[in-house]
Amino acid sequence: MPAIVLVGAQWGDEGKGKATDLLGSRVEYVVKFNGGNNAGHTVIIGKEKYALHLLPSGILTPGVVPVIGNGVVIDIPVLFGEIDGLNARGVDTSRLVVSANAHVIPSYNSILDRVTERFLGSRKIGTTGRGIGPTYADKMTRVGIRVQDLFDEKILRQKVEGALALKNHLLVKVYNRRSITVDEVVEELLTHAERLRPMVADTALLLSEALARNEVVLLEGGQATLLDVDHGTYPFVTSSNATSGGACTGSGIPPTAVTRVIAIAKAYITRVGEGPFPTELFDEDGEKLRSIGAEFGTTTGRPRRCGWFDIPIARYASRINGVTDLIITKLDVLTGWEQIPVCVAYDVDGERISELPMTQTGFHHATPVYEYLPGWTEDISNARSLDDLPSNARAYIDFLEQRCGAPISAIGVGPEREQTIVIRDLLS
Q: Is 127 in the site for ligand IMP (CB under 6 A)?
A: yes
Of 132 and 408, which CB lies nearer to ligand IMP in the complex structure? 132
* Residue of 13, 75, 82, 220 that binds ligand IMP (CB under 6 A): 13
Can residue 247 be called a binding residue for ligand IMP (CB under 6 A)? no
CA distances from 263 to 39, 140, 258, 321, 381 (A): 16, 28, 14, 8, 22
Distance between CA 405 and CA 401 in Å, rounded? Answer: 7
Nearer to ligand IMP among residue 90 and residue 301 (C-beta): 301
In contact, 232 and 225? CB cutoff 8 Å: yes
Task: Convert residues 258-277 into a mask of x (bound to ligand IMP by CB under 6 A) and - (unbound).
Answer: --------------xx----
Compare residues 132 and 217 and give the one whose CB is closer to ligand IMP. Answer: 132
Asked if 13 is an active-site residue, the reply is yes
Closer by beta carbon to ligand IMP, 133 or else 286: 133
User: Which amino acid makes up residue 177?
Assistant: R
* Marked catalytic residue, from 13, 138, 149, 310: 13
Q: Rule CB under 6 A: is residue 125 a binding residue for ligand IMP?
A: yes
User: Is residue 401 within 8 Å of 319, Cβ to Cβ?
Assistant: no
- Measure CA 19 to chain center: 12
Q: Of 36-55, which residues contact ligand IMP (CB under 6 A)?
A: 38-40
Give the residue nearest to ligand IMP (CB).
Answer: 273
Render the burial of 154-186: b for 16+ CB within 10 Å, e for the rest: eebbebbebbbeebbebbeeeeeeeebebeebb
Compute the distance between CA of residue 273 and CA of residue 13 in angstroms, rounded to an integer: 12
Cα–Cα distance measured from residue 133 to residue 211, given in angstroms and rounded to the nearest whole number:
32
CB 14 to ligand IMP: min, Å: 9
Q: Which is nearer to ligand IMP, 222 or 414 (CB)?
A: 222
In whole angstroms, the minimum distance from the beta carbon of 139 to ligand IMP comes to 13
Strands 339-348 and 351-353: antiparallel
Spatial CA neighbour of 259 closest among 32, 1, 58: 1
Sign, CA dihedral 310-312-317-318, equals positive
CB 302 → ligand IMP: shortest distance, Å? 7
Could you tell me the sign of the dihedral formed by the alpha carbons of 243, 239, 218, 415, in that order?
A: negative
* Contact range with ligand IMP by CB under 6 A, out of 57-65, 156-164, 234-242, 315-323: 234-242
Q: How many residues does the chain have?
A: 428
Q: Does 404 bind ligand IMP (CB under 6 A)?
A: no
From the list 10-18, 70-78, 193-201, 252-260, the region that binds ligand IMP by CB under 6 A is 10-18
**Is 369 one of the binding residues for ligand IMP (CB under 6 A)?**
no
Strand intervals (E) in 77-225: 97-99, 103-104, 200-201, 217-220
Residue from 15, 56, 71, 133 that binds ligand IMP (CB under 6 A)? Answer: 133
Q: Which of residues 188-227 bind ligand IMP (CB under 6 A)?
A: 222-223, 227
Minimum distance from residue 133 beta carbon to ligand IMP (Å): 4
Q: Is 75 a catalytic residue?
A: no
Active-site residue, selected from the candidate residues 21, 41, 103, 113: 41
Q: Is 75 in the site for ligand IMP (CB under 6 A)?
A: no
**Does 12 engage in binding with ligand IMP (CB under 6 A)?**
yes
Please report whether residue 130 would count as binding ligand IMP according to CB under 6 A. yes
Give me the sign of the Cα torsion angle 54, 55, 56, 61. negative
> Cα angle at 32 between 27 and 33, to 5 degrees?
120
The correct pick among 238, 241, 324, 329 for binding ligand IMP (CB under 6 A) is: 238
What is the CB-side half-sphere exposure of residue 47 using CA atoms within 13 A? Answer: 1
> Total binding residues for ligand IMP by CB under 6 A?
21
Q: How many CB atoms lie within 10 A of CB 21?
A: 19
Q: Which stretch binds ligand IMP (CB under 6 A): 77-85, 122-130, 283-291, 375-383?
A: 122-130
> What residues line the site for ligand IMP (CB under 6 A)?
11-13, 38-40, 125-128, 130, 132-133, 222-223, 227, 236, 238-239, 272-273
Residues marked as catalytic = 13, 41
